[in-house]
Structure 1
Amino acid sequence: MPPRSPVRPPRQRHSAVKSAKTARAPRQRLSNEERERQIVDGAIRFFSEHGLTGQTRELAARINVTHPLLYHYFPNKEALIKRVYKEVFLGRWKSDWETWIEDRSVPLQERLNRFYIDYSKAILTKEWVRILIFSAFAGGYISDNYLKLLSERLLPRIVRETRAELGLPTEKPPTEAELELIWGMHGGIFYIGVRRWIYGLKFPKDLNRVLTDRVRSYMLAAPEIFTREAAPH
Structure 2
Amino acid sequence: MTITSIMSRGEPIVRPRAARLAGDVRRAQIITAACQFFAENGFSGPTRDLAASIGVTQALLYRYFDSKTDLIDAVFAEVFREHWSVGALERFEASAGAPMVDRVAEVYGHMLPRMTPTATRLFFRAGLDAYAEPIYRSASKSLPLWNAMLAEWRREEGLPTLAGKPMLEGERMLMIALHNAMTMIRVREHVFRTPRWLSDADEIRQISETQDAGIRVVLRRLHAGEASERRCAIAHNPSLEAA
Contact 2:39/2:122 (<8 A) preserved: yes
Structure (1/2) with the larger helix percentage: 1
Equivalent residue number for residue 81 of structure 1: 72
1:217 to 210, 217, 220: 210
Letter in 2 for 1:72: R
- Cα distance change of structure 1 residues 53 and 148 upon mapping to structure 2, 3 Å threshold: farther
Identify which of 162, 165, 169 aligns with 1:176.
Answer: 169
Aligned: 1:147 with 2:139? yes
Q: CA deviation at 1:118?
A: 1.4
SS of the residue 1:168 aligns to: coil
- Could you tell me which residue of structure 2 aligns to residue 109 of structure 1? 101
Pick the aligned partner of 2:89 from 90, 98, 107: 98
Q: Shift in Å at residue 166 of structure 1?
A: 3.1
Task: State the match for 2:31 in structure 1.
Answer: 40
The runs of at least 4 consecutive aligned structure 1 residues that moved more than 6 Å come to: none
Indicate how the Cα distance of structure 1 residues 201 and 111 shifts in structure 2: closer, same or farther if over 3 A, else same: same
The answer to whether structure 1 residue 69 and structure 2 residue 57 are counterparts is no
**Whole-angstrom distance in 2 between the partners of 1:94 and 1:156:** 13
Amino acid at match of 2:151: R
User: What is the CA–CA distance in structure 2 between the aligned matches of 1:32 and 1:57, rounded to whole Å?
Assistant: 19
After TM superposition, the score normalised by the length of structure 2 is 0.76
**TM-aligned CA deviation for residue 148 of structure 1:** 4.0
Equivalence for 1:199? 192
Please state which structure has a larger fraction of its residues in strand: 2
Number of corresponding residues: 214
Percentage of identical aligned residues: 27
1:228 aligns to what?
221
Q: 2:128 aligns with which of 133, 137, 144?
A: 137
Letter in 1 for 2:186: G
The verdict on how the C-alpha distance between 1:139 and 1:26 changes in structure 2, with shifts beyond 3 A counting, is closer
Gaps of 5+ in 2: 1-6, 227-243
Match of 1:188 in 2: 181
TM-score by length of 1: 0.79
1:90 to partner: Cα distance: 4.7
| Matched residue type, 1:147 | A
Structure 1: 5+ residue stretches without partners = 1-10
User: In structure 2, the residue corresponding to 1:130 is in which secondary structure?
Assistant: helix
- Contact 2:85 / 2:141 at 8 angstroms: preserved in 1? no
Report if aligned partners of 1:182, 1:218 keep a CA contact under 8 Å in 2: no
Q: Deviations over 1:71-92 (max 9, x none)?
A: 1221111111111112113522
The CA RMSD measured in Å over matched residues stands at 2.6
Whole-angstrom distance in 1 between the partners of 2:88 and 2:127: 25
Aligned mate of 1:208, from 201, 206, 224 = 201
Q: Which amino acid aligns with 1:175?
A: L
